[in-house]
Amino acid sequence: MAEYRAYIVGDDGHFVGFEGLVCSNDSQAIENAKRLVDGHDIELWCGERFVKRLNVDDKPGTTSYEVIQGRMIQKPASKS
């Protein structure tokens, strides 16, 4: 198993938070990171190795996240 970090890319292009992932390979890490794309692009890294950038335009988000103290926290589902 490898340790990955999915970094939230802010509007200015700088990282504003991250979510740690432990996955068996890049493909699994990419699939897990896709759920984090919501309003901001995500860059997936494994240590110093860049894996992939997931763009917000590629996936309409249904789950919302917010950054609290540099960490991504899922927002509660809105009641319709």
Q: What is the pLDDT of residue 39?
A: 85
The answer to whether the CB of 61 falls within 8 A of the CB of 38 is yes
Domain with 29, as residue range(s), is 2-74
| Residue that has been written with the tokens 């960490």 in this structure | 71
- Confirm whether 79 is domain-assigned: no
The count of structural domains within the chain is 1
**pLDDT tens track for 44-80:** 999 999 999 999 876 554 556 677 887 877 766 544 4
Report the predicted TM-score, pTM, of the whole model to 2 decimal places.
0.70
- Confirm whether 53 is domain-assigned: yes
Name beta bridge partners: 72.
Answer: 67
- Confirm whether 25 is domain-assigned: yes
| Residue that has been written with the tokens 């919302």 in this structure | 64
Q: Tell me how crowded residue 53 is: count the other CB atoms within 10 A of its CB.
A: 13
- Confirm whether 37 is domain-assigned: yes
Cα separation, 58 vs 41, whole angstroms? 9
Cα separation, 20 vs 10, whole angstroms? 17
- Confirm whether 55 is domain-assigned: yes
- Confirm whether 80 is domain-assigned: no
- Confirm whether 65 is domain-assigned: yes
- Confirm whether 28 is domain-assigned: yes
